[in-house]
Every structure is written in structure tokens, then in C-alpha cells.
Structure 1
Amino acid sequence: MAAAADSKWKDTALIVIDMQNDFILPGGPMHVKGGEAIVPNVIKAIEVSRSRGIPVIWVVREHDPLGRDVELFRRHLYSSGKPKPTSKGSKGAELVDGLDIKDGDYKLVKTRFSAFFNTHLHSYLQGVGVKKLVIIGVQTPNCVRQTVFDAVALDYETVTVVVDATAAATPDIHNANVFDMSNVGVAIPTLEEWCKSDD
């Protein structure tokens, strides 16, 4: 069974984006209001991926505590006396409870919205033969959307966003961005639909 699963899903990878304390927990400096509600679905998507032999790629933000690698519009958040979102080694940069990087998973650090921007993600995926991406995490209009559009531009055969394992500040923002992604050929199943799917 495992061998069949490995063969069937061998060219697919799951990308989990920014499921970190500073984004997910209430009171976090980068809190995404819809983030906490999707944690159970993110956990389930990861479990299903592992059972299918799909590699899990954890994409996280980790910034210099002085903010020297942060976008210009966010550098004020790293000034003296202010919280320093997802700074390297901080509790806020850690994955939210219930999510764990396991042997065989891969962690990639980014400092911008897209997981592809100034990272080696594309080279890594090409190296392991991945042609299809499944994307979950936060938040839909920023890091999820930018990663998805870059994946489309890079000609991945299929790009899938599990709609109830991704979230934004409000349902309206989430739904508008999901609509935009669907218009460029991105698959947008629910978690239940994806779990029942064959590809």
C-alpha cells in the first residue's frame, strides 16, 4: 500500500506556509484572525500527505532581530521597544502547537511573501522531481497568493490550494483571493475533497 501511495504521489509536495505563533496566536504581532481556526485542517492535511508519501515542506519567516532583512514597510516593527515578529530564535517564530517538523520533512526560511523569492525552493523541488504543489497556511492574500502565482509562473503542472486549510483576516478577503487564484487555473478543493482525490 505504501509503495503504491509513494508511486501515485511521487511528483507532489505539500507546502505549509507561516503556521507560526506570531501569525496564528491571538495577540501575536502579525496575527491573522482566521489562522487559529484552520490549525486542525492543517494538521489533517499534513497527516494525509505523510500517509500518501507526499513530502512536507515547511516554509517559515525568520528575520534578523534588528529587522535588517525585513521589507521596508515593516521595519518600524523592529524598532526599540516594539515586538520583533518572527525574529530568529524567538517563541513567535516557532510553529504553533500541534505542528512538528519530522524526519524527512524539509524546512525553508523566507523573508518575503513568496516562498520562491530569493530562496532555493524551485531548485529543491526540481531536484526531488516535484511537478505538483499543494499549498496550505497563512495568509491567503499575501504569502499564499504570492507563492501560488510564482508557482504558476514557473509552470508547475498543477497548483492546489486547500481552501479550508488556508486563511486570511476575514472570509471576504480569503474568498476574493481564492477566486483570483482559481481564475489562473489553480485547483481550490476543500480538505475533504482533497483527501478523497486521486491527484
Structure 2
Amino acid sequence: MQGRQDHSGELWEKPANKRTAELNGTGKHRTIPQRPPGMARIEHPPAKPRVARPQSQTSTPKKFRKQLLIITAIFFVCAAAAGIGSYMAYNLFQGISVSSGASTAAAGFLGAVSKSDYAQAYTYLGPAITLPTHQAQFIQQAQALDRCYGPVADYSEVANSATNQDNSQSFSYTLTRSKLKKPYQIRITLQQDRDSPNTWKIADYGNDLGPGASAPACKA
């Protein structure tokens, strides 16, 4: 232990335990905790248990065949559904196209009639009308109706009047003539051309383009 001299030249010593207590800050000696009686002394830490790695199961041939059958069945079901969907879409498109072609032809015919262009209107007629009625005769009949009831001033298709049967379609139209107080309806039937499926011709429009018996007799 090392000391130091005082004014008289003598050495004095400071106890080490007192200095240690001062450094501790409490003025008391720090005690070492004791192991409780009966507790076993552990020399080495316990070994950590290892978790076994899962082993991959190899597919047996029987299981593989089952999976292959399931995949094949799903493929055929999807293919069948796609085929049915395509067929329905094609028929729907064809139906819309056919209906549009017939309606366009009927509207074109009445458009020519409303303009008194009967030569053009005659081109929309099919053999069922053109064979017994020549163009000049058709024009003469149409002009006679104009003199009696006035020219066709307006026409419109009757809602939900379209019917479709095999290769023929029918539409009802409301016609307004300048000399008639009330409009009247006619029924136009069209047939699909055998040589040109996209072509529709008028097969019937009644006895004539007039109002029929509901109108007063013509005095022209």
C-alpha cells in the first residue's frame, strides 16, 4: 500500500477498503450474490433441439395418372365451353346481321316511295311481285294512289313488329299521306336471296301501298 508524507515528513496510509467503499458511492461493500442451496451447477449451456427438415414426397405413378386425368378433363371442359360460346356468338351476330339487312331493304323501299322515285322503289321488289307486275304497271299504280290520297309524307317502323321465319322477315310500318287525316299501316315481307344471302327482296306489301278499305274511296 502506498502512502504519502505529511508536514512532519512521516508517511501515512489510507485503507484500501475505505477507498473502495468511496468509489462505490454507497459507503458500503458490494456483496456477491450466492447460488441458492440445492441448485445444480451448470458447466455447459443446454443443447438447442434441432427441428427435422421436411422430406419431399415423391409422386407415385398412380397419383401422377390421376392428376393427368384431372388436367385433361379440365382442358376438355374449357374447350367445349369456348366452342359453345363461339357458336352462340356467331349465331347472334348472324341474326343481327340478317335482321339489319332486311330492315335496311324495307326502309330503302319506303324511302324511295316517299320521294316518288318509283323506278328506284321497284328495284327492291322480288320475283314474287316483279313477275306478275312490270315496272311501268307498278309506277302507274303508285302514282294513282298519290293522286287520290296524296304522296307518302312520312313512314316509321312499328315497334316490336318484326318477325323472322326461316329465310323471310316481316315488318309493319305506319304511313302518312298528305291527303289523309289518319295514318295507316302496311305489312312488308322480305325474302333472302338464294344466290346472295346478304340481299333481301320484298315479296309482299299487301294489295297495294294504299290505306285499303279503311280509307274513303278514291275519286281521282
TM-score category of the 2 structures, normalised to the smaller one: under 0.3
| Greater relative contact order, per chain length (Cα 8 Å cut-off, separation 6+) | 1
- The TM-score, its normalising length taken from structure 1, stands at 0.25
Greater Rg over alpha carbons, structure: 2
- The TM-score, its normalising length taken from structure 2, stands at 0.23
